[in-house]
Structure 1
Amino acid sequence: MLSRKRLTPKKVFLFVYDLGASLIAMLLAIFIINNGSLPLAQWRVFTATWFVLPITALIIFALVGFYDQMWAFARGSQYLVLVAGTSLQLILSVLIMQIMDIHFSFACYVLYWFLLTAAVFIIRFIYRFYSSSARVKRTGNDRMSQKKVMIVGAGEAGSQIITELKTSLTDRVPLLLIDDNPLILNYKNNGVPVLGNRHDIPDLAEKYDIDEIIIAIPSASRNTIRDIVDICYETDSRVSILPFYTQLQDSKVRLTDVRDITIEDLLGREEVDLNLEQISRYIRGKTVLVTGGGGSIGSELVRQIAAYRPSVLLILDIYENSVYDLQQDLIATYGNSLNLQVLIGSVRDQRRVAQIFDQWKPDLVFHAAAHKHVPLMEDNPCEAIINNVYGTYNVARQAGRTKTEHFVLISTDKAVNPTNVMGASKRMCEIIALALNKVYKSTSFAAVRFGNVLGSNGSVIPLFERQIKEQKRVTVTDPEVTRYFMTIAEASSLVLQAGAYAEGGEIFVLDMGRPVKIIDLAKDLIRLSGYIPEEEIPIDIIGLRPGEKMHEELHLDKEETLETENEKIMILQQIEDSLYLDAEVSHLTRLSRCSTVGLCPFMDSILHILREADKKSADELKMLLPEIPDNNLAAQLYLTEREY
């Protein structure tokens, strides 16, 4: 009912109007059915039942929400409420009149329904039209003061954007549509004409002095979006976009969804197809540990894992600031429904890692902690070995000792044919995971290998964005250098899917799509920031840094890959020939340039395990496990006592 709290003059007017319309509609129906006359018998029926119509209208119209709708912004679904309301009101009225044994003819009831529906519809449509006109006047009395908008995409999304622009408080006015379908050329959608296809965008933008181009094709492939954006770059107009349907709330289009183009929109990568049920079974109710959980990949893994409702979610990181921010985000999102434990510590600390595994006994471990910056690791090679190689071994051995179900190593394309310390260290981590999978039969060890992720800490994109913001020269190492890229969210979700596939001993390789020229990436970012590459923001070629490669690889040419259920995840057919591995590890240790931390004898022990794996039992292989070279004898004894 109409509560005083929500009572407004507009609602009072609509209420009185609807009650009056219910009476007048019946009188008109009687009058029309009887060819312009009002028979005495019909008048008596009306006077005996007149109160039924307004009472039922009051009850039904209030219940279905006639007076709670924002008619100034009404859409088709809201007008259906009117039809439902008048239909229910008629049914209730007829039932009451039947009980009273007084009623009108069937034809009279039908005509009454049409007249009442038309009456309540017309008054609300007039109000919507008046409100829309008033808003247009408030936002600018003439079209010249408004921003002229071109909408690319004449489908449902484009139509909804036109409606939003026409009914919202905005200074933007939809002027024309672009669509590649030649059959709708010159047709109007919601009053806006379709004047050309994507190739006509530059000419039409200049002809109509377009201020903004909105790409409204949320179902389009990323390659299509890339092509359209490139064409839009030829204009002086601002370019905006609607996200993909999967990124829209309830797949509904709203004006607030329109945003600036981002670099993720330009990479030509399609949405990830996941087996969500399988991932849920893999994670739900488990104790999950993410090392390096405050980093770029680690934090996204944590966020996605949290959505699958683990029993306990453990975040291990040495940097408390980044992990604190993540903790607060998760608390704000999940409150007490998520059992979140933040553990400060280093994967290099044998005592701390052992204590964590003894206390929590995680079911799943995602090992994302690592030093990853190539130039820094070239200058600090021993730190790369200690943190990456020994840190991985430390965590992986504890996972095996406490019978963790799955250990998933986050690897990198730089581990293939490495030319730097970081890549060499990560390849050794993969070999360690392979060896420990032979030793600990209760734990499945696997690695997931992929390339660069967009926007990760210290990556090239934040560097370019900072240089552009400061209007400095953008520095590119070589005009031909390429890299693989994917979004952090995509990489993380595929890591979870690969983990669910893992049976032990696999190296999963993610399909990274086409390699991207770094110079093209720089130009895209310059354009997205509103500048012209080379003219307004120069690009300097500074040469490759120590240890860098021109092009990365995801696997060796002689290595084959097997398909999985997900087309973006492949399993590497690894070369396990002992002579090949001996030569490879010898090359990796030389490349590491660190002879002071016991790397050579350590890796020799790992290779020995691989050579003996088919000849010895798991217990015998455990006896071959090396200790981490460490001057802290107490830490070694602590681990040794708990190993078996």
Structure 2
Amino acid sequence: MVIHQITTLILGLPRVLKRSIVMAVDITLCFISVYLAFYLRVGIWVPIWISSSWRPLLVLGASIGIGLPVFIFCGLYREVFRHSGWPAILASVKATLIYAIIFISIFTFIGIEGVPRTIGFIQPIVLLLLIVTSRILAGYLLRNPYRKELRLAKVPRVLIYGAGNAGRQLAAALSHSYEMQVIGFIDDNPQLQGSVMAGKKIYNPKFLSDLVISLQVSSVLLAIPSASRHRRNQILQLVQQSRVGVQTLPGMSELAQGKISTQDLRSLDIDDLLGRDPVMPDPVLLGKNITNKVVLVTGAGGSIGGELCRQIIEQRPKALVLLEQSEFALYQIHQELSHKLGGVLESGQPAIDLIPVLASVTNPSRIQLILEEVRPDTIYHAAAYKHVPLVEANPTEGIKNNTFGTLVIAKIAMQLEVPNFILISTDKAVRPTNVMGASKRLAEMVLQALAAISTKTCFAMVRFGNVLDSSGSVVPKFRQQIKDGGPVTVTDFEMTRFFMTIPEAAQLVIQAGAMAKGGEVFLLDMGQPVKILDLARRMIELSGLEVKSKDNPNGDIEITQIGLRPGEKLYEELLIVGNPDKTAHPRIFMAQEGFMPWNLFDKRLYELQNSLDQNDIFMVENLLRGLVSGYKH
């Protein structure tokens, strides 16, 4: 540790001073080589400073007087100790040979009274060995610190926001990293500001803008796991004003176990874009329809379906059936959950039977066979085509999958008396302007109509808006566009959307389903609608970049407007008519939506099915307008 500190100190010195040190080392080696040469010649240690019979002081003066000019002429001091490869060693040998020729000529061939002629041979050989050894040793000691200094000079310089345990652990985890260099901490605690932790100074956050410039900071790492989302949002606003990138930590449990690496740092904490704290889930509601039961999730490989599966296994079901029509998506979620459940048997907990099923909800015979075999207690129906422009381009497939796929599995669930059936719906089902929204509203109406005639199966549906960072959402699209250097494309600068995080949405879906009595349309509190333009701007600024505009032509990333896509509207709604009713959960509400009785609705669905089979798009449009309230394509 001491050697490392000394070598690091030497490497930080000015070049002139470092050359002076090398010269001083060579002068010392000349002294040692003369001392050793006399010992090897006469067999006793000759005191150089007081001896007069052998005149060693004259030899020492000659050695230094010949050696330094030769070494300077040969360029030994243009190199420094860290360059100890073969070229540097050969240069040392060459310089010492020239020195030896001069030294031998003086003390061996010409001769100096009182100095044995063999000293002329012995001393250059000893000096050569000492110089080469010094270069090799110095290179060994200095090369690694030098390489580390070089690498650190090229890596991003970061500040850690939070000087608590999390910040300290993060700094320790990154101390040997060549991907980023921690240069200090920021903390809100006045008692910590100005002090030093782990060799790094703790700064006041109000000086962040100045620190970014003076310390050449490229990113701020948030290490504040206990802070509320509101507080994190305030910190992000401060960082945003400082024009610096933001990265956040994964779970602190991983950090504490030493599993953290720079690859685990997220470029942007999407949850913080909402700026509101989630409500803690009710454990009774979470486990009511899941614990020790057989649960089936359709669309298990999707964003919502996958998160439902992750949270379902936390509630210890007897079995979890993963139903998915995409082979790759099914493989991914099955592998992830299998890995997560790998240590269950060792922990002594009962095993969860994980059943992957490759199937489409539009295939009645296949769904009948699956449900008869697994006999689920609860079905979460998340399978759907949700991408508005794609469904607009393929309307018949969208309706078949979203509406009639729901009809297929819901009717079979009712026939087999499955106790609970929960549909995952969307805010686009309210006064839809696209086929996707209309098909999802029809799916809701299917469940409402069946719930009115079902005595054994409790049907319910949960309606909510966009989820952040889901597949097909704007967040991953914006992130990639920022990574590519822009521009970031927004369909309309006035467009707004409701947003919620995927984990929070899945938790609320499970809890809403547990409160169902039959036929309810639950609404999730999505908070205030978010302007897509503001979301794009914030993502750019939290990446440490500036928005390029007329007012700031030298910015980094431009935001462009490309116009609404087919079927899109400027804003979404969660309620068709009236005001929602409150429930026992502060973030879950209940809508009173009208629907068509099953005996009438069934006939209209039959007409729609025939039109789809005939690919009569004109008739399909007419039927949708007649069936879905407020539908304007």
TM-score class, shorter: 0.5 to 0.7
**Partners of 1:210 and 1:322 in 2: how far apart?**
40
| SS of residue paired to 2:574 | coil
Q: Letter of the aligned partner of 1:569 in structure 2?
A: I
Which residue is 1:267 aligned to? 274
Matches within 5 A, 1:284-433: 284-335=291-342, 337-433=351-447
The Cα shift of 1:536 comes to 3.0
- Quote the offset at 1:258 in angstroms: 4.9
* C-alpha distance after superposition, 1:550-575 (max 9, x if no partner): 1111224623231323x222222445
Indicate if the aligned counterparts of 1:374 and 1:547 stay in contact, CA closer than 8 A.
yes
* Paired amino acid for 1:242: L
Per the alignment, residue 59 of structure 1 pairs with none
Of 528, 552, 571, which residue of structure 2 is paired with 1:551?
Answer: 571
Contact 1:157–1:253 under 8 Å retained in 2: no
Q: 1:472 to 1:150 in 2, by over 3 A?
A: closer
Q: Which of 170, 175, 187 in structure 2 is aligned with 1:179?
A: 187
- TM-score, length-scaled by structure 1: 0.63
Q: Residues 161, 318 of structure 1: CA spacing in aligned structure 2 closer, same or farther, 3 A cutoff?
A: closer
Counterpart of 1:196 (choices 158, 183, 204) is: 204
Give the drift of 1:475: 1.8
Counterpart of 2:481? 467
* 1:151 partner letter: I
Deviation at 1:243, TM superposition (A): 4.4
Quick one: which of 157, 160, 169 aligns to 1:151?
A: 160
Question: Partners of 2:385 and 2:528 in 1: how far apart?
Answer: 26
Say whether the 8 Å CA contact 1:315–1:342 is kept in structure 2. Answer: yes
The CA deviation at 1:490 is 2.1
- Pair 519,145 (structure 1): closer, same or farther in 2 beyond 3 Å: closer
Q: Match for residue 572 of structure 1?
A: 591
Report the CA distance shift for 1:380/1:172 in structure 2 as closer, same or farther (over 3 A). Answer: closer
8 Å CA contact retained: 2:286, 2:507: no
DSSP-derived class of the 1:348 partner: coil
In 2, the alpha carbon distance for the partners of 1:289 and 1:143 equals 51
Q: What secondary structure, in the 3-state scheme, does the structure 1 residue paired with 2:547 have?
A: coil
CA contact (8 A) 1:176 1:193 kept: yes
In structure 1, distance between residues paired with 2:621 and 2:246: 56
> Shift of the alpha carbon at 1:207?
2.8
1:473-496 deviation digits (Å, cap 9, x = unpaired): 322111110112222222222212
Aligned pair 1:232/2:239, yes or no? yes
Structure-2 residue corresponding to 1:562: 582
Letter in 1 for 2:566: P
| Partners of 2:324 and 2:357 within 8 A in 1 | yes
Provide structure 1 residue ranges, at least 5 long, that are not aligned to the other structure: 1-133, 608-644
1:318-374 CA-to-partner distances (Å, cap 9, x unmatched) read 222211222222333325833222222221122222222222221111111112121
Query: In the superposition, relative to structure 1, how do residues 456 and 160 fare at CA in structure 2: closer, same or farther (>3 Å)?
Result: closer
Amino acid in the other structure paired with 1:315 = L
d(CA) in 2 for partners of 1:529, 1:181: 26
User: Alpha-carbon deviation of 1:224?
Assistant: 2.6
Classify 1:212/1:472 alpha carbon distance in 2 versus 1 (closer, same or farther; 3 Å): closer
Identity between Structure 1 and Structure 2 (%): 41
**In 2 relative to 1, CA 558–158 (structure 1 residues): closer, same or farther, beyond 3 Å?**
same
Spell out the pairing of 1:87-236 with structure 2 (5 A cutoff).
Answer: 139-140=148-149, 149-161=158-170, 175-182=183-190, 185-187=193-195, 192-197=200-205, 199-235=206-242
Is the alpha carbon distance of 1:260 and 1:466 closer, same or farther for their aligned partners in structure 2, counting shifts above 3 Å?
A: closer
Report the aligned-residue RMSD.
3.9
Pick from 540, 562, 569: which aligns with 1:542? 562
Deviates more, 1:331-340 or 1:291-300: 331-340
Give, in whole Å, the separation in 2 of the partners of 1:391 and 1:171: 49
Q: 1:264 to 1:441 in 2, by over 3 A?
A: same
The normalised TM-score by structure 2 is: 0.64
- Give the whole-Å Cα distance in 2 for the aligned partners of 1:383 and 1:266: 34
Residue matched to 1:486: 500
Residues 455, 502 of structure 1: CA spacing in aligned structure 2 closer, same or farther, 3 A cutoff? same
Do the aligned partners of 2:403 and 2:442 also contact (CA within 8 Å) in 1?
Answer: yes
Offset of residue 417 of structure 1? 1.9
Q: Deviation of residue 441 (structure 1)?
A: 1.1
Question: What corresponds to 1:94 in structure 2?
Answer: none
Task: State the alpha-carbon separation in 2 of the partners of residues 242 and 467 from structure 1.
Answer: 23
Q: Size of the alignment, in residue pairs? A: 462
Letter aligned with residue 159 of structure 2: M
> Are 2:248 and 2:269, in contact at CA under 8 Å, matched by a contact in 1?
no
8 Å contact kept, 2:497–2:572: yes
**Alpha-carbon contact 1:161-1:253 (below 8 Å) kept:** no
User: Over alpha carbons, which structure has the higher Rg?
Assistant: 2
- Whole-angstrom CA distance in 1 between matches of 2:622 and 2:335: 39
Q: C-alpha offsets along residues 581-607 of structure 1, whole Å, 9 cap, x if unaligned? A: 99xx99xx9xx9956569959998x99
Is residue 306–residue 313 contact of structure 1 (8 Å, CA) maintained in 2? Answer: yes
Q: State the shift of 1:139 in Å.
A: 4.4
User: Deviations for 1:160-203, whole angstroms, at most 9, x for unmatched residues?
Assistant: 5456666x567866554433345655455566554423x32101
SS of the residue aligned with 2:289? Answer: helix
DSSP-derived class of the 1:486 partner: strand
Contact (CA 8 Å) 2:460, 2:521: kept in 1 or not?
A: yes
User: Which whole-Å CA distance do the structure 1 matches of 2:167 and 2:230 have between them?
Assistant: 19
